[in-house]
């Protein structure tokens, strides 16, 4: 495996509103691939949660694009985001990692 160089940021993004049952997760997956970002996306009770890692300018464009080109059936009320420390190798739709990520986040002050 080749290790990528360059500065990487990792963000936890929560998108609230009408974002479930409208194709939002596949939209996020394709958008993340377009920007060559890594991480995952999952539905939560109150939001769609995204963990994403990549170059800072690509993440900025990714977050801006979420609201600009989201699925027509969606209605975004808010997008909240913060940085955290974790490294990804792929982007996936799986929620299997959520326990692992929550555990790692609990170790970070």
> What are the catalytic residues?
25, 43
Q: Answer whether 82's CB lies under 8 Å from 12's CB.
A: yes
Show Cβ contacts of residue 39 under 8 Å, excluding neighbours closer than 6 positions: 10, 32, 50, 51, 52, 53, 88, 91
3-state SS class at 70 = coil
């Amino acid at each position: 495996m080749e290790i990528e160089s360059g500065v990487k940021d990792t963000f936890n993004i929560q998108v609230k509103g009408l974002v479930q049952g409208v194709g939002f997760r596949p939209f996020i997956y394709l958008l993340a691939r377009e920007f060559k970002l890594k991480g995952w996306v999952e539905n939560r009770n109150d939001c769609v949660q995204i963990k994403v890692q990549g170059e800072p300018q690509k993440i900025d464009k990714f977050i801006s694009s979420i609201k600009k080109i989201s699925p027509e059936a969606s209605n975004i009320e808010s997008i909240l985001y913060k940085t955290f420390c974790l490294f990804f190798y792929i982007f996936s739709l799986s929620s299997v990692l959520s326990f692992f990520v929550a555990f790692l986040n609990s170790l970070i002050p």
